[in-house]
Amino acid sequence: MILSNGEPTKLKGLALAKYQPLPELLTSILNVCRSSSKLPSARRNVQDKQTEVIGVVSAVGGSGKTTAALNLAKQIGNAGLSVFYLNLEMINSSAIFPRKGRNVEDAQGLPRLLYELKAAQEDKEAEPVSLASFTVHHSDIKADLFECVTNLKELLQLGKSETNELLDCITDSGSYDVVIIDTDSGMNNRTETVIEKSGRLVWVMLDDLINMHKHEEWFSYLERTEPSFFEDIRSKSSFVINRYVGNLVNELPSCISDIDGVLPYIPSWKQNSHEELLLSSPIYQRDIQKLCRHLLGDEFVVRFEVHSYG
C-alpha cells in the first residue's frame, strides 16, 4: 500500500491519496483490507446476497432525483450498511454538497480508475484493479463516492461497455452492501446500462401534468418497441411521487397500477441557499426511511433499529 501525491511511481502496490483527512484515509485503508482479504460484508453474512444495486431514475429533469438518491444513501449508511453513491449525471448535481477536506487531485479518482480498467483489459496478466485507492468517503452522505469530475469529456466518452466495467468493479470489490446510482434524466448509454444492471429501480415522478405525460410517453414507447426490456424494467421498478402534498391530482401512466412511496413537498426548499437542509428535513427523512424499508426489507429495519436504539 502506497501513500501517493498523484504522481506516477514505479513502486508496485495500491496507491492512496496522501493528502486527505485522517478519518477518510483510515476508511480507505479499511476498505482496501476488507477487499484484499475478501471478507464478506455484514449484509451478505446475514442474507448471503450480492451487493444490492439501486438505480434512481426519471424521464424528466427537475423531479428531485439527486436529492432522493443522496438521502437514500445517507439513511442506508446510517443503518450501518456500507454504501457507494455513484453519480453518472453529465453535470453532477451532488457537487453542491462539498466534502470536507477535498482537494484538486481527488477529482482525478474516476478518470484514473477508468484508465486503469482500460489498461487492465489490454493486459490480460494485469492484477485486478482495486477500487479503494480511487474513492473518497463523504461523511455527511454516509457513503463512499468518486469526487466530482471536472472534465466533462470524461463522462461523454463513457459508453455502455465502460459503464458496465465500472459497475462491475464497484460491485465485485466486496466492500459495499448497497450501491446507489444517480443518473441523467432521459436515456443515454450510461443510463441505459444502469437500468439494465440495477437490481432495483426507483422512478422519481411529480404529480404534475407534464411530468406524468412524459413518463407515459416514455413507458409507452418502450413497451411498443422493446417489450421484453420494458417488462424487465417494470418487474424491478418502484414508483415514487416526489413533492407530494397529500393527494394525487393527475392520472398515473397506464403501466403503473399504484405508487410504491411518496416524498413530501418541503416549502422551505423552494428558495434554499443552504445545501445541508436538503439532507436534514425530519419529514423527508421519515419517508425516505419508508422507501428504504420497501427496497431492502427486514435487513434495513433490523440494522436501523440497532443503530437508532443500540
pLDDT at site 199: 97
pLDDT (average), residues 85-103:
84
Number of structural domains the chain divides into: 1
Indicate if the pLDDT at residue 263 is higher than 90: yes
pLDDT digits (tens, 9 = 90+) for 190-239: 999 999 999 999 999 999 999 999 999 999 999 999 999 999 999 999 99
pLDDT at site 46: 36
d(CA 1, CA 244): 49
Indicate if the pLDDT at residue 302 is higher than 90: no
Segments forming the whole domain that contains residue 249 = 2-309
pLDDT at site 50: 85
pLDDT at site 43: 44
Query: pLDDT category, 139, cuts 50, 70, 90?
Result: very high
CATH number where 281 lies: 3.40.50.300
pLDDT (average), residues 128-151:
89
How close are the terminal C-alpha atoms of the chain, in Å?
35
Query: In percent, how much of the chain has pLDDT > 90?
Result: 58
- The three grid cell numbers given for residue 99, joined into one nine-digit string: 466534502
- The three grid cell numbers given for residue 165, joined into one nine-digit string: 466495467
pLDDT digits (tens, 9 = 90+) for 10-64: 555 556 666 666 666 666 666 556 444 433 444 444 344 689 999 999 999 999 9
Q: How many helices (H) and strands (E) does the chain have?
A: 11, 10
Distance of CA 4 to the CA centre of its chain: 27
Select, from the ranges 95-109, 142-156, 164-178, the one with the highest average predicted confidence (pLDDT): 164-178
d(CA 300, CA 58): 24
Three-class secondary structure of residue 157 per DSSP: coil
